[in-house]
Amino acid sequence: MASSTDNYTTAYAAALAVGTATLLGIAIFKVLVEPAKTVLVTKQQGSTDISPEPFSAVIKESTKVLHRQAESGELIKLIFSARITWNLYLQYLLALYPVYLEMENAMANCRGHPVIKRFYFPNELNRAKLLEKDIRFLMQGSDESVIQDALTTHGPAVTAYCDRIRRLGETDPTLLIAHTYARYLGDLSGGQMIKKRISKALQLETGGAGLDFYEFPNIAAHNDFKNMYRRLLDKLETDAALNCFLDKQAFIQEAKKSFVFNIELFEEVMPSP
């Protein structure tokens, strides 16, 4: 018999297929997958069964429906059709900036945690400073007070996303990795295609001003780095020194929520019809 979570996911996917997914539906989905309580997970609290598939593959399969939905949103369609405007791109970066700032601060604060220190690659991955650099380029000519106001003013979707990351850093750092997985590996994959589309739409030179967010100068080979990161995810399940901090189901649900947060962020960036 399918689990209640599977039923919810199946129902949600069906709603997407007929084009009836709404923000309300997303909000309901978040409630359905919300863990009852976030705690520092120990082996006694979580499952120690080893999955027949690598844990990274389980996460990918579990988030597949939401990943597809994120890729099919109106904002992403505008980007991939090279129809995004200068201002909309700015609003997109302004929405991402506080998320990365919160995520990178949380990772830095928790870098001594047995799990976090395995996934802590600030020189290779950190994006917040690069986002601010791109934002300042896009807002060139604006007063500093205007720029600061833009950097610190966030909508409810972005605020909820940041609040969740901050809370995980304080209560269950292992689950932060569900968010770094979704964001950074996405930036190293689809993000590189987004860079090319935005470059075309806004006539920005690839590797130049306005596109620094998508550059990873300290990663020689993106695929090699992503594969290494996935192997680290697998070790969360198989390495006894890490497994004691892992609740697999809570991690998978958090990965799903990361995609939901991003979907809501994309929708918040889009101007009202």
Q: Is 206 left (phi over 0), alpha (psi -120 to 50) or beta?
A: beta
Instruction: Write the DSSP assignment of 4-58 as a string of letters.
Output: HHHHHHHHHHHHHHTT---HHHHHHHHHHH--S------TTTS--PPPSS-HHHH
* Amino acid at the residue 231: R
Q: Which residues contact 269 (CB under 8 A, 6 or more apart)?
A: 75, 88, 91, 92, 95
Q: Which residues are annotated as a binding site?
A: 60, 67, 181, 230
Exposed / middle / buried, residue 5 (Cβ in 10 Å: 0-12, 13-18, 19+) = middle
Measuring CA to CA, how many Å separate 235 from each of 89, 162, 164, 167, 205? 37, 27, 25, 24, 39
Exposed / middle / buried, residue 215 (Cβ in 10 Å: 0-12, 13-18, 19+) = middle
Q: Whole-angstrom Cα distance, residue 145 to residue 160? A: 25
Closest CA to 173 of 56, 36, 31, 38: 38
Contact 268, 96 (CB under 8 A): no
Q: Which residues are annotated as a binding site for heme b?
A: 60, 67, 181, 230
